[in-house]
């Protein structure tokens, strides 16, 4: 990097992270996680937010949740926590959180299910997102979305849910398919997802809970 390039300030992003009420979180992991399901959901969200807060391109993380347990834990990390006042679904919750971002700040919406998230990989993604009005990162399966971004002055209009990769493409958001950003794409909904995330390297809270699950006790 040249001296001139180093002197150019990069954008500082506000990231909105939705966190489900723990009683309803990680239901597809019910059999594998058993009595540890809620602890696993909290650990995954905690590792995700902690990694995002360590990213050099992240100004702040805004967590939208109605559960006081993750609210307290994530606030202690330094996240700003707001209730899901619309209570009208995922995308309205994200828009609600984005309204709390600093004026003129670029805003992203990110999954809370990225327990292997690496700050340097997230930084590379956010750097690439600077050049597009709207951008997104598809999940590891190529069906959903793990991150959606909008530059300052661009309406923040995430389209998460179901086949959101297609939905974000259809609305004109740029798809960011960079090399070596596996941790940004690897969301965890199932036991197989968790095993794949373990290969990348789990965050400490998730690793601690995963060690309690029968599938990993001998690992």
How large is the greatest C-alpha to C-alpha distance in the chain, in angstroms?
Answer: 54
DSSP code per residue over 9-56: PPP-EEEEEE---GGGS-GGGHHHHGGGHHHHHHHHHHHHHHHHHT-T
Does the annotation flag 145 for ligand binding?
Answer: yes
Q: Give long-range contacts, CB 8 A cutoff, 24+ apart: 162-167.
A: 164/136, 165/136, 165/138, 165/139
DSSP code per residue over 178-203: -TT-HHHH---SSHHHHHHHHHH---
Does the annotation flag 161 for ligand binding?
Answer: yes
Does the annotation flag 206 for ligand binding?
Answer: no
Annotated binding-site positions: 145, 161, 164
Annotated binding-site positions for phosphoenolpyruvate: 145, 161, 164
């Amino acid at each position: 990097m040249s001296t001139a390039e180093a002197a150019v300030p990069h954008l500082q992003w506000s990231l909105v992270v939705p966190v489900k009420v723990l009683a309803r979180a990680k239901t597809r992991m019910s059999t594998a996680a058993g009595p540890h399901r809620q602890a696993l959901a909290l650990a995954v969200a905690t590792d995700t937010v902690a990694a995002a807060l360590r990213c050099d391109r992240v100004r702040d993380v805004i967590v939208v949740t109605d559960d006081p347990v993750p609210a307290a834990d994530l606030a202690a990390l330094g996240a700003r926590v707001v209730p899901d006042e619309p209570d009208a679904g995922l995308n309205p919750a994200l828009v609600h959180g984005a309204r709390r971002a600093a004026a003129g700040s670029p805003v992203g919406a990110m999954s809370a299910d990225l327990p292997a998230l690496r700050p340097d990989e997230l930084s590379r993604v956010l750097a690439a997102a600077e050049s597009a009005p709207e951008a997104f990162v598809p999940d590891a399966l190529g069906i959903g979305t793990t991150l959606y971004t909008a530059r300052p002055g661009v309406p923040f209009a995430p389209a998460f849910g179901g086949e959101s990769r297609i939905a974000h493409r259809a609305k004109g958001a740029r798809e960011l398919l960079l090399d070596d950003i596996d941790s940004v794409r690897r969301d965890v909904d199932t036991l197989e997802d968790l095993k794949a995330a373990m290969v990348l390297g789990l965050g400490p809270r998730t690793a601690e809970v995963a060690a309690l699950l029968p599938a990993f006790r001998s690992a």
